[in-house]
């Protein structure tokens, strides 16, 4: 294993390593205004949900590594503590990338990126019409993490209004994860797309508690066939079935196929002698 102390890397190397490893990250498209009412729109992938009651999200416009300057978005929320956060999906990924261009302070990135402004219900910054979800937020607190290039500024926001585009809802009126087709940022120029071709579900562990890896029989735990994922599924049963367990690799292969179809009970049946 290669071991590194953050101090051994320069700012750019450290930023690249962190953004490559801590990925994929959701993207907030932040719509803000300054005290004069100038509009700004920029994407931020240092972003996530941290509380649902109260509903709190945080994003971080960092000081530029290049020259330690601050971003218009940060200056704006310091002047007007309100922000609309639009969620980014595949149909607008090129436009949000364009919106990240470092235009001058008076330039409206809605116009530059071809995205559409709509009045928000409760705050002054504009909603982004094309985003599948828009959150109107009031800024609760801004926490500066340092004074050097690369230092983050946590913009801690409470969601006070939510707008959902109908076309991303399912028949029950809830957001549909597949229809959303969300994109996320990784290291360098990499993005991830989350659609039908690569989304998968992992059922939550049993509420009643699975037996765990340590209680798997050795015949199964030390099989050359099973992967860590297979064993993780097998360990998610409430009680180890009675009986002796096969070391037959063909049967282990059959059980593996059943696990791929989420059929844990049947997989265990295959493994009992």
Binding residues for ligand FMN (CB under 6 A): 27, 40, 42-46, 60-62, 71-73, 97, 100, 102, 185
Q: Report the nearest approach of ligand FMN to the CB of residue 56 (Å).
A: 17
92 token code pair: 């607008």
Cα–Cα nearest to 27, from 14, 16, 43, 41: 43
Helix (H) or strand (E) holding 52: strand 47-52
If the CB atoms of residues 57 and 267 are measured against ligand FMN, the closer one turns out to be 57
CB 236 within 8 A of CB 228: no
Q: Where are the alpha helices (DSSP H) in 114-187?
A: 177-180
If the CB atoms of residues 175 and 184 are measured against ligand FMN, the closer one turns out to be 184
Q: Report the nearest approach of ligand FMN to the CB of residue 204 (Å).
A: 30
CB 188 within 8 A of CB 20: yes
If the CB atoms of residues 26 and 258 are measured against ligand FMN, the closer one turns out to be 26
Query: Which residue shows structure tokens 């509420």?
Result: 207
Dist. CA 251–CA 45, nearest whole Å: 45
If the CB atoms of residues 60 and 270 are measured against ligand FMN, the closer one turns out to be 60
Q: Report the nearest approach of ligand FMN to the CB of residue 99 (Å).
A: 7
Q: Report the nearest approach of ligand FMN to the CB of residue 62 (Å).
A: 4
Q: State phi, psi for 234 to the nearest 5 degrees.
A: -65, -30
Spatial CB neighbours of 60, under 8 Å, sequence gap ≥ 6: 44, 46, 47, 145, 152, 153, 154, 155
Q: Report the nearest approach of ligand FMN to the CB of residue 170 (Å).
A: 27
Q: Report the nearest approach of ligand FMN to the CB of residue 195 (Å).
A: 18
Query: Which residue shows structure tokens 């009031």?
Result: 138
Cα–Cα nearest to 92, from 72, 112, 114: 114
If the CB atoms of residues 68 and 260 are measured against ligand FMN, the closer one turns out to be 68
If the CB atoms of residues 30 and 234 are measured against ligand FMN, the closer one turns out to be 30
């Amino acid at each position: 294993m290669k071991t590194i102390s953050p101090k051994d890397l320069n700012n750019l190397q450290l930023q690249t390593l962190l953004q490559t490893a801590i990925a994929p990250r959701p993207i907030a498209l932040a719509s803000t205004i300054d005290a004069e009412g100038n509009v700004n729109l920029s994407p931020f992938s240092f972003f996530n949900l941290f509380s649902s009651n109260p509903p709190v999200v945080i994003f971080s416009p960092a000081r530029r590594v290049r020259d330690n300057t601050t971003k218009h978005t940060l200056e704006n929320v310091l002047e007007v503590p309100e922000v609309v956060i639009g969620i980014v999906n595949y149909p607008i990924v090129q436009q949000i990338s364009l919106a990240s261009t470092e235009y001058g302070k008076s330039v409206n990135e809605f116009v530059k990126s071809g995205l559409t402004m709509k009045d928000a219900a409760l705050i002054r910054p504009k909603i982004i019409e094309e985003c599948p979800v828009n959150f109107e937020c009031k800024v609760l607190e801004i926490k500066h993490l340092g004074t050097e290039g690369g230092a983050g500024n946590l913009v801690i926001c409470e969601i006070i209004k939510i707008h959902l585009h109908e076309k991303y809802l399912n028949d029950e009126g809830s957001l549909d994860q597949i229809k959303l087709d969300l994109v996320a940022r990784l290291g360098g120029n990499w993005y991830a797309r989350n659609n039908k071709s690569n989304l998968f579900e992992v059922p939550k562990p049993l509420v009643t508690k699975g037996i765990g890896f340590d209680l798997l029989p050795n015949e199964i735990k030390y099989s050359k066939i099973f992967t860590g994922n297979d064993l993780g599924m097998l360990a998610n049963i409430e009680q180890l079935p009675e009986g002796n367990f096969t070391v037959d690799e063909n049967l282990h292969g059959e059980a593996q196929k059943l696990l791929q179809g989420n059929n844990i009970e049947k997989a265990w049946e295959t493994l009992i002698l």
